[in-house]
């Protein structure tokens, strides 16, 4: 009988634990966390089902009981060798179970330092490590009093527990703070709990980084370093634009890691992965928060392997069962194999979607690895992005050439900000039928002219398929031309057509005198 490893909430990147366990000859068992809030339960259930359909084999799935003692006995009966958190929602329960069963992990007695942002910074303060000044407040009066004591115009309010940017608001001035404090108090957090108190902190202005670490036998090692790009919205929330992998040691990276190790010691981390988020200002690095599990974002295992030669969950698992492998991998000089960026997809407004043409164009990007995005097959609507939970998805990019990945990252930013209708379509005319098929053989034509009218009225997924057929039919160096009637009927007109052709790898020619056709050249 195979030895069992329990994964508490195998969501996000922690889902990769399942295949990692199977590859090493262990039987993974999923333990789902119970949520008191029904809306949160429904939301998590949707995420679970989206993950579970990807399972290649039948996996035992258990449910947290109504009492800890019952849950403990249920897990004890499995006789697992490990209990691991697969997501932020599973950290508390996984840590407690591992501690109760005498399995490797961090002491449950330090759970507040691991999960409560205020307690974490108090631990740094006690250890003489740079921290952010803050206070837990339950009322407007407490919030106002602390703001006056802080003597800092810019502050941040956030739930004491949580992950991502959910519930985080940036404030400028007392009036702004009190307004947003009132709005966030009583809201449901990302862990399903009601915010009966909020953490107010001084705001640190600088560049934001991720330092992912792994601790085993009391030794800290770095697995990866990333740098955030975020965007501040009018409501004071901070949304993710994307991230870039730090590919080699820089002065900032060196200082970040040195400081991160001080943080881990101060908090008392003894075992397992930690996803740490840090700000770097003129004084150097300072912790924002730590999450005692692997980095989120639903990163594909193959993506990490291509960039760093490993992915977060396989290293974390090996640190428990075969630490020699981890020591060998992480003792090598830090340097990525390829450049990498991730693009978080920001939706400018809530909208009904009839189809998802984004799936038909982003694979053309030279740096495209994979994506996890919302489609019309999952839901007929998407929400305006106001935090991490309302993002429309992720696009994972990597390439050997930094200029390629940078250009395509900027191209995606331009698409979502100015041409979002090329990614998701609200309406089309179902009476038009299908676009014609192109019968020409691949690479057989010197040129192809697109003169179809009313392109905007067709499903854009079909239009992109038609454009792909047209491009394939033309030889390298040949031309694709679009008549004025056709591109004027395309979303955003000629500008939209130019954007799509750029993504598809064509070279756009400048307008020719007294010729109103859009002409592009096939490069390969």
Question: How confident is the model over 218-228, as pLDDT tens digits?
Answer: 899 999 999 99
At residue 191 the predicted structure's pLDDT band, cuts being 50, 70 and 90, is: low
The average confidence (pLDDT) of the chain is 91
Q: Which CATH class is domain 435-522?
A: alpha beta
**pLDDT in the model for residue 224:** 97
Phi first, then psi: give them for residue 498, nearest 5 degrees. Answer: -60, -45
Query: Is the fold of 4-103 the same as that of 205-333?
Result: no
Fold for domain 133-202?
Answer: Dna Ligase; domain 1 (3.30.1490)
* pLDDT value at 189 more than 90: no
Range name among 146-150, 370-374, 400-404, 473-477 with the lowest pLDDT average: 146-150
State the alpha helices, DSSP H only, in 342-388.
Answer: 358-361
DSSP E strands in 357-473: the ranges are 368-373, 381-382, 393-399, 445-450
Query: Over the stretch 79-130, which tens digit does the pLDDT of each residue have?
Result: 999 999 999 999 999 999 999 999 999 999 999 999 999 999 999 999 999 9
Range name among 1-10, 218-227, 229-238, 270-279 with the lowest pLDDT average: 229-238
* pLDDT value at 520 more than 80: yes
- Please compute the mean of the pLDDT values over residues 162-173 and round it to a whole number: 77
Distance CA 140, CA 197 (A): 10
In order of 59, 225, 246, 276, 339, the CA distances from 336 in angstroms are: 34, 10, 8, 19, 7
Range name among 60-74, 153-167, 338-352, 376-390 with the lowest pLDDT average: 153-167
Q: Inter-axis angle of helices 16-23 and 312-321, to 10 degrees?
A: 50
* pLDDT value at 391 more than 80: yes
- Please compute the mean of the pLDDT values over residues 410-419 and round it to a whole number: 95
Q: What residues contact 197, with CB distance under 8 A and at least 6 apart?
A: 136, 137, 138, 160, 185
Predicted TM-score (pTM) of the model is 0.91
More confident residue, 361 or 429: 361
**pLDDT in the model for residue 178:** 86
Q: What percent of the chain has pLDDT over 90?
A: 67
**pLDDT in the model for residue 419:** 95
User: Do the Cβ atoms of 371 and 395 come closer than 8 Å?
Assistant: yes
**pLDDT in the model for residue 188:** 61
Q: What residues contact 137, with CB distance under 8 A and at least 6 apart?
A: 143, 146, 181, 197, 198, 199, 200
- Which residue ranges make up each domain of the chain? 4-103, 133-202, 205-333, 338-427, 435-522
Q: What residues contact 522, with CB distance under 8 A and at least 6 apart?
A: 471, 474, 475, 476, 477, 478, 479, 480, 506
Q: What residues contact 424, with CB distance under 8 A and at least 6 apart?
A: 351, 353, 355, 356, 357, 358, 376, 382, 392
More confident residue, 233 or 422: 422
The C-alpha angle with vertex 297 and arms to 291 and 298, in degrees rounded to 5, equals 115
Determine how many CB atoms are found less than 10 A away from the CB of residue 385. Answer: 23
Range name among 303-317, 443-457, 473-487 with the lowest pLDDT average: 443-457
The owner of tokens 């990498």 is 340
Q: What residues contact 170, with CB distance under 8 A and at least 6 apart?
A: 154, 155, 156, 203, 232, 236, 237, 238
Task: Establish how many alpha carbons lie within 13 A of residue 190's alpha carbon, considering only the half-sphere containing its beta carbon.
Answer: 20
* pLDDT value at 201 more than 90: yes
- 3-class DSSP state for residue 56? coil
N- to C-terminal Cα distance for the chain? Answer: 54
| Pairing of β 134-137 and β 169-172 | unpaired
Can you identify the CATH homologous superfamily of domain 205-333? ATP-grasp fold, B domain (3.30.470.20)
More confident residue, 21 or 145: 21
Range name among 163-177, 417-431, 466-480 with the lowest pLDDT average: 163-177
Composition of the chain by helix, strand, coil, percent to 5: 40, 25, 35
* pLDDT value at 148 more than 80: yes
**pLDDT in the model for residue 302:** 96
**pLDDT in the model for residue 193:** 63
- Please compute the mean of the pLDDT values over residues 231-249 and round it to a whole number: 86
User: Do the Cβ atoms of 472 and 445 come closer than 8 Å?
Assistant: no
H or E element that contains 201: strand 198-202
- 3-class DSSP state for residue 311? coil
* pLDDT value at 470 more than 80: yes
**CATH architecture, domain defined by 4-103:** 3-Layer(aba) Sandwich (3.40)
Burial class (CB in 10 A: 0-12, 13-18, 19+), 65: middle
């Amino acid at each position: 009988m195979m030895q069992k490893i329990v994964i508490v909430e195998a969501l996000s990147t922690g889902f990769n634990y399942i295949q990692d366990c199977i590859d090493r000859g262990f039987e993974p068992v999923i333990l789902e966390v119970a949520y008191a809030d029904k809306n949160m339960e429904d939301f998590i259930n949707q995420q679970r089902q989206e993950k579970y359909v990807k399972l290649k084999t039948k996996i035992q799935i258990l449910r947290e009981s109504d009492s800890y003692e019952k849950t403990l006995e249920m897990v004890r009966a499995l006789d697992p060798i490990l209990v691991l958190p697969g997501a932020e929602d599973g950290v508390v329960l996984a840590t407690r179970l591992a501690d109760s069963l005498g399995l490797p992990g961090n002491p449950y007695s330090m759970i507040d330092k691991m999960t409560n942002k205020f307690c974490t910074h108090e631990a740094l303060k006690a250890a003489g490590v740079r921290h952010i000044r803050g206070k837990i407040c339950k009322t407007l009066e407490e919030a106002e009093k602390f703001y006056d004591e802080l003597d800092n115009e810019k502050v941040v309010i956030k739930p004491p527990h949580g992950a991502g940017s959910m519930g985080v608001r940036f404030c400028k001035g007392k009036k702004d703070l009190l307004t947003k404090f009132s709005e966030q108090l009583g809201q449901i957090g990302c862990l399903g709990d009601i915010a009966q108190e909020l953490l107010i902190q001084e705001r640190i202005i600088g560049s934001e980084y991720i330092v992912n670490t792994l601790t085993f036998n009391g030794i800290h090692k770095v697995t990866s370093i990333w740098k955030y790009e975020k965007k501040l919205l009018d409501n004071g929330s901070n949304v993710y634009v994307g991230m870039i992998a730090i590919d080699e040691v820089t002065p900032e990276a060196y200082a970040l890691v040195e400081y991160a190790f001080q943080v881990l010691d101060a908090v008392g981390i003894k075992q397992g992965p930690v996803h740490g988020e840090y700000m770097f200002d003129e004084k150097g690095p300072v912790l924002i928060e730590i999450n005692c599990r692997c980095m989120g974002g639903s990163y594909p295992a193959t993506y990490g392997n291509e960039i760093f030669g490993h992915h977060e969950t396989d290293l974390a698992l090996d640190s428990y069962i075969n630490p020699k492998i981890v020591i060998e991998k992480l003792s090598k000089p830090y340097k990525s194999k390829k450049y990498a960026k991730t693009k978080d997809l920001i939706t400018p407004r809530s909208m009904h979607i009839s189809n998802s043409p984004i799936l038909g164009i982003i694979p053309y990007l030279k740096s495209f690895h994979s994506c996890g995005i919302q489609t019309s097959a999952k839901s007929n609507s998407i929400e305006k992005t106001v935090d991490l939970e309302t993002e429309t998805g992720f696009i994972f990019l990597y390439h050997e050439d930094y200029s390629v990945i940078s250009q395509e990252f900027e191209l995606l930013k331009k698409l979502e900000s100015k041409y979002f209708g090329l990614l998701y379509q609200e309406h089309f005319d179902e009476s038009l039928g299908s676009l014609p098929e192109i019968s020409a053989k691949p690479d057989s034509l010197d040129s192809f002219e697109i003169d179809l009218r009313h392109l905007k009225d067709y499903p854009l997924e079909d239009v992109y398929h038609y454009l792909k057929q047209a491009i394939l039919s033309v030889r390298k160096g040949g031309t694709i031309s679009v008549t004025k009637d056709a591109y004027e009927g395309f979303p955003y007109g000629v500008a939209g057509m130019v954007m799509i052709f750029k993504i598809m790898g064509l070279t756009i020619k400048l307008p020719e005198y007294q010729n109103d056709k859009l002409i592009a050249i096939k490069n390969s």
